[in-house]
């Protein structure tokens, strides 16, 4: 842990940056801020707690939770961070206590930083320990005091859950550190003890917040219940239940033998409680009736737009949102999704590009698998079609006839998008990730606006042939405007798929219940039911569904670790090269000579984030992670 002086500094910084209209802050000089000031007015406490929200999950820079310039999905097989790929050390074989990359306390746009989470925990412990003594003048202020304490329990549970899911057993601290705190003797608790601590905080949050009127964007009983569903599913995983060879008895990262079935039941029951309406009424956005196949083009478009609406909502939450973060135009954390992820031909930065294997994982509109070599059996790299062949069979274009979520998540060559900026003349207003050639196929006419050879900020062009559309607001020009769309951290689809996975892993009579929940998510996306009685097949179905439904949201980083399947999916990233000829012939080539990112999975130790060398030097009794 950081020295206590650093915690006090962090407390002062939070207070300085908290926005408040109270006279209390206005009357104090910078040097006189202290706990007496904060806890003299409940509205100052509210502002102070607001900054704890901003720092959830170890974040301190240009984003909060999952919304940031460099996405957590780029630490998986799904997307490529084109600007700073080396920082994802888990995919490079470079992650170590001395080289944490994005997981370092000073890492750019980093994730799950151990030190930052403990700074926030210190601030939350201070609130929980002192808030009961805050004097209130009205019953409304007394209710607010109760609510803020419940919110603090939720945020602390979130921080410890994040520590558990990334580091295993944590150092459990429930009271504020003091000046004479002895960090030399601090040790990590077991992963089982950490899980129990998280569940206790979740229970406190639910009990305290139940029945209170709560502002949108602040913690609710449902948010706490959703966190319970998530963390229990992680705890019930292969990774933490004997799957990590040689670490079966390491209580920092493994539960006692024989725990998995009970943990799966707990994850199932926690999810079912949300589904049963115990914490409020939630429903998937859109119809959950099984669609009649085949879908018309208009239906595919409608399903796609409905799905994407979940991620570009503004203001009032839709029926699917359990909890998330709103982004104002001024102040607070930033959502610049359009400029971060949008195509370079719109003066955007083109980051977090979907990879070719991820694009191929999207099904066809009828729910059957996409088959790249359908027309040229055995060739996994090249597709060609003449104008006549495309006219006779539009499915020769690999981007036609795909499931609706594909069109909500991926921008591909020819995809309709916004009107171009005034300095870019393009009457089609479609994404251009290909190049245009004479019929001899060697004489280049021009490169598309959104390529790395194009005329508009080519250095921001896609390296894979695709852009991530999912979080882009079609009404916002990223070049000029910040996004006001929300980040949805917990949504009902996650609860359904958490429940589905727990049921499928339990098997027996639970398996069909799991498929029923899975099919609700598929049907909402315009896809037909999955039907099987085979547990292994059902397991494949739930893993496919989570990969697509949560694309880009960060879940896959945890899913691949829970399932211990990183080694089977990590591969080098190559570009999709598209040539369009004057006569209408098109060639799509997955070009293995165009290596865009070297990736490797060299050790299972990367399933856990290492503690930094500096942190272990401060507290030498902190047990290191296995393998480091």
| Predicted local distance difference test score (pLDDT) of residue 191 | 99
Tokens of 90: 């888990």
Q: Is residue 141 included in any domain, yes or no?
A: no
Alpha-carbon gap, residue 406 to 400, rounded angstroms: 10
Residue 4 has pLDDT above 70, yes or no: no
The number of folded domains in the chain is 1
Confidence label for 5 from pLDDT (cuts 50, 70 and 90): very low
**Residue written as tokens 């130790």?**
605
| Predicted local distance difference test score (pLDDT) of residue 1 | 43
Q: State which residues form the domain around 418.
A: 304-488
Average of per-residue pLDDT across 174-191: 90
Alpha-carbon gap, residue 407 to 421, rounded angstroms: 22
Higher pLDDT, 292 or 35: 292
DSSP string, 332-394: SS---HHHHHS-GGGT----SEEPHHHHHTS-BTTSPPP-GGGSSTT-SSEEEE-HHHHHH-G
Give the dihedral sign, CA 219/548/310/211.
negative
Three-state secondary structure call for residue 24: helix
Alpha-carbon gap, residue 615 to 572, rounded angstroms: 33
Residue 252 has pLDDT above 60, yes or no: yes
Alpha-carbon gap, residue 98 to 178, rounded angstroms: 28
Q: Is residue 341 included in any domain, yes or no?
A: yes
Residue 15 has pLDDT above 90, yes or no: no
Nearest-5° angle of CA 192, CA 193, CA 195?
65
Q: Is residue 546 included in any domain, yes or no?
A: no
Residue 602 has pLDDT above 80, yes or no: yes
Contact 570, 55 (CB under 8 A): no
Q: Which of 190, 210, 356, 349 is nearest to 273 (CA)?
A: 210
Alpha-carbon gap, residue 285 to 318, rounded angstroms: 7
Q: Is residue 203 included in any domain, yes or no?
A: no
Q: Is the pTM of this model over 0.85?
A: yes
| Predicted local distance difference test score (pLDDT) of residue 542 | 99
Confidence label for 130 from pLDDT (cuts 50, 70 and 90): very high
Q: Is residue 375 included in any domain, yes or no?
A: yes
Alpha-carbon gap, residue 335 to 350, rounded angstroms: 15
Confidence label for 110 from pLDDT (cuts 50, 70 and 90): confident
Maximum alpha-carbon separation in the chain = 82
Contact 267, 226 (CB under 8 A): no
Cβ-in-10-Å burial (0-12, 13-18, 19+) of 329 comes to exposed
Q: How far is CA 537 from CA 201, 509, 578, in A?
A: 37, 16, 35
Q: Which of 550, 530, 549 is nearest to 540 (CA)?
A: 530
Q: Is residue 97 included in any domain, yes or no?
A: no
| Predicted local distance difference test score (pLDDT) of residue 65 | 86
Three-state secondary structure call for residue 588: strand
Residue 267 has pLDDT above 50, yes or no: yes
Helix axes 42-54, 4-17, angle to 10 degrees: 110
* Sheet with 586-597, side-by-side order of all strands: 382-385, 586-597, 573-581, 435-437, 444-447
Q: Is residue 148 included in any domain, yes or no?
A: no
Contact 308, 441 (CB under 8 A): no
Alpha helices by DSSP H, listed for 210-334, are: 221-235, 260-275, 297-309
Residue 133 has pLDDT above 80, yes or no: yes
Residue 479 has pLDDT above 50, yes or no: yes
Average of per-residue pLDDT across 117-138: 96
Based on its alpha-carbon atoms, the radius of gyration of the chain, rounded to whole angstroms, reads 25
Share of the chain above pLDDT 70, in %: 92
Residue 10 has pLDDT above 90, yes or no: no
Tokens of 83: 């600007």
Residue 417 has pLDDT above 90, yes or no: yes
| Predicted local distance difference test score (pLDDT) of residue 107 | 56
Among 96-105, 375-384, 443-452, whose mean pLDDT is lowest?
A: 96-105
| Predicted local distance difference test score (pLDDT) of residue 350 | 98
Cβ-in-10-Å burial (0-12, 13-18, 19+) of 381 comes to middle
Mean pLDDT in the chain? Answer: 92
Average of per-residue pLDDT across 339-354: 98
Residue 294 has pLDDT above 50, yes or no: yes
| Predicted local distance difference test score (pLDDT) of residue 23 | 34
pLDDT digits (tens, 9 = 90+) for 184-236: 889 999 999 999 999 999 999 999 999 999 999 999 999 999 999 999 999 99
Quote the strand ranges of 450-533, DSSP E.
Answer: 467-468, 487-491
Confidence label for 77 from pLDDT (cuts 50, 70 and 90): very high
Cα 438 to chain centroid, rounded: 43
Confidence label for 61 from pLDDT (cuts 50, 70 and 90): low
Tokens of 560: 């691949």
Average of per-residue pLDDT across 611-626: 93
| Predicted local distance difference test score (pLDDT) of residue 330 | 59
Average of per-residue pLDDT across 171-193: 92
Alpha-carbon gap, residue 312 to 310, rounded angstroms: 6
Indicate the Cα dihedral angle 6, 40, 207, 169, nearest 10°: 10
Alpha-carbon gap, residue 627 to 96, rounded angstroms: 10
Q: Is the bond preceding residue 4 a cis peptide, omega within 30 degrees?
A: no
Q: How far is CA 87 from CA 58, 65, 251, 373, 467, in A?
A: 16, 18, 29, 34, 20
Residue 32 has pLDDT above 90, yes or no: no
| Predicted local distance difference test score (pLDDT) of residue 329 | 66
Average of per-residue pLDDT across 105-109: 62
| Predicted local distance difference test score (pLDDT) of residue 482 | 83
Alpha-carbon gap, residue 208 to 202, rounded angstroms: 10
φ/ψ of 426, rounded to 5, equals -150, 100
């Amino acid at each position: 842990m950081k020295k206590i002086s650093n915690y006090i500094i962090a407390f002062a910084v939070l207070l300085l940056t908290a926005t408040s209209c109270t006279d209390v802050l206005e009357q104090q000089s910078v040097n006189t801020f202290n706990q007496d000031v904060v806890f003299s007015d409940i509205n100052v406490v509210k502002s102070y707690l607001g900054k704890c929200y901003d720092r959830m999950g170890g974040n301190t820079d240009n984003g909060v939770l999952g919304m940031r310039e460099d996405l957590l999905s780029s630490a998986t097989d799904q997307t490529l961070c084109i600007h700073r790929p080396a920082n994802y050390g888990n995919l490079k074989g470079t992650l170590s206590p001395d080289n944490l990359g994005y997981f370092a306390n000073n890492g750019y746009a980093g994730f799950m930083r151990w030190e930052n989470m403990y700074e926030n925990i210190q601030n939350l412990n201070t609130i929980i320990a002192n808030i009961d003594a805050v004097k209130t003048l009205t019953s409304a202020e007394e209710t607010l005091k109760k609510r803020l304490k419940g919110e603090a329990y939720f945020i602390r549970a979130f921080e410890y859950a994040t520590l558990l899911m990334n580091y295993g057993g944590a150092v459990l601290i429930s009271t504020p550190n003091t000046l004479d705190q002895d960090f030399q003797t601090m040790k990590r608790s077991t992963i089982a003890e950490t899980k129990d601590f998280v569940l206790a905080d979740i229970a406190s949050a639910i009990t305290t917040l139940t029945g209170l009127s709560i502002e949108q964007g602040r913690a609710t009983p449902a948010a706490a219940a959703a966190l319970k569903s998530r963390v229990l599913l992680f705890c019930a995983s292969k990774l933490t239940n004997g799957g990590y060879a040689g670490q079966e008895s390491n209580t920092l990262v493994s539960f006692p033998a024989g725990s998995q079935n009970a943990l799966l039941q707990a994850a199932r029951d926690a999810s079912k409680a949300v589904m049963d309406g115990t914490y409020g009424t939630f429903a998937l956005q859109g119809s959950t009736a099984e669609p009649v196949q085949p879908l018309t083009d208009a239906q595919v478009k409608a399903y796609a737009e409905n799905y994407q609406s979940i991620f570009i909502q503004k203001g009032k939450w839709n029926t699917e949102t359990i909890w998330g973060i709103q982004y104002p135009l001024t102040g607070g954390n930033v959502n610049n999704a359009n400029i971060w992820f949008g195509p370079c031909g719109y003066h955007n930065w083109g980051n977090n590009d979907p990879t070719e294997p991820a694009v191929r994982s999207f099904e066809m509109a009828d729910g059957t698998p996409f088959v790249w070599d359908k027309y040229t059996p055995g060739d996994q790299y090249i597709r060609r079609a003449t104008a006549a062949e495309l006219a006779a069979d539009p499915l020769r274009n690999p981007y036609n006839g795909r499931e609706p979520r594909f069109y909500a998540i991926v921008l591909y060559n020819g995809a309709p998008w916004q009107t171009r900026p005034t300095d870019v003349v393009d009457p089609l207003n479609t994404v251009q990730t290909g190049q245009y050639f004479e019929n001899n196929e060697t004489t280049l006419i021009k490169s598309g606006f959104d390529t790395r050879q194009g005329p508009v900020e080519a250095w921001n062009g896609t390296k894979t042939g695709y852009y991530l559309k999912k979080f882009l607001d079609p009404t916002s020009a990223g070049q000029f405007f910040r996004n006001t769309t929300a980040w949805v951290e917990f949504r009902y689809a996650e609860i359904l798929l958490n429940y589905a996975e727990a049921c499928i892993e339990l098997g027996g009579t639970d398996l069909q219940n799991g498929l029923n929940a899975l099919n609700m998510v598929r049907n909402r996306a315009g896809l037909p039911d999955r039907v099987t009685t085979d547990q292994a097949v059902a397991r494949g179905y739930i893993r496919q569904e989570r990969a697509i439904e949560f694309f880009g949201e960060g879940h896959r980083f945890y899913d691949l670790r829970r399932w211990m399947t990183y080694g089977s999916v990590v591969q080098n990233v190559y570009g999709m090269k598209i040539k369009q000829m004057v006569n209408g012939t098109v060639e799509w080539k997955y070009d293995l000579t165009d290596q865009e990112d070297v990736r490797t999975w060299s050790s299972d130790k990367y399933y856990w984030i290492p503690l930094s060398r500096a942190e272990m030097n401060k507290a030498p009794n902190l047990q290191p992670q296995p393998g480091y």
